[in-house]
Amino acid sequence: FVEMLAERLEARGLEVDKAFDGEEALEKIKSKDLDVVILDVLMPGKDGIEVLREIKQLKPLTEVIMLTGHATVQTAIDGMKLGAYDYLLKPTETKDLLEKIQGAYRRKYEQEERIRQAEIDRITRTKAW
């Protein structure tokens, strides 16, 4: 599934980095600045909810889209409470996933821009010109 999804996204011009279990995903997240993570709820090792929790601790502005073929309402609620951008059921249409990715990227960019603006405002208020 990971390979197929990566191929579909790369064919549409996205840069993709793959991980095949929760630990590998966390290692990549620690070492790279990723904008959006697509995370399966059921993975070998750590499950997607635990990985989401750790992603949000390590890189709070990284947006996460949860995927699952076994969704329950409670799992979706848990993911959203922990900061997931959104939740999609597998199999998902590429168009739907791309829309979610664009929305997640846009939200990350807007959050970063607000942080930059707040920092500029803080500096200009505290510096004597």
pLDDT of residue 128: 58
Q: At what angle do helices 48-58 and 73-81 cross, to 10 degrees?
A: 10
pLDDT at 1: 84
* Higher-pLDDT residue of 103, 41: 103
pLDDT digits (tens, 9 = 90+) for 42-52: 888 898 999 99
> Contact 17/34 with Cβ under 8 angstroms?
yes
In contact, 46 and 27? CB cutoff 8 Å: no
Mean pLDDT of the chain: 92
Predicted confidence at residue 75, as pLDDT, reads 82
Taking the CB of residue 43, how many other CB atoms lie within 10 A of it? 19
Q: What is the pTM for the complete model shown?
A: 0.89
Distance CA 85, CA 26 (A): 18
- Mean predicted confidence (pLDDT) in 110-124: 94
Each residue of 54-77: pLDDT tens digit?
999 999 999 999 998 876 777 878
Rounded mean pLDDT of 84-112? 95
Sketch out the chain's domains with CATH numbers. Answer: 2-126 (3.40.50.2300)
SS3 66: strand
13-17, 80-84, 88-92: which has the minimum mean pLDDT? 88-92
pLDDT of amino acid 89: 87
User: DSSP string spanning 58-122?
Assistant: H-TT-EEEEEESS--HHHHHHHHHTT-SEEEESS--HHHHHHHHHHHHHHHHHHHHHHHHHHHHH
* 28 φ/ψ angles, rounded to the nearest 5 degrees: -65, -40
């997240």: which residue's tokens? 29
Name the more confident of 128 and 107: 107
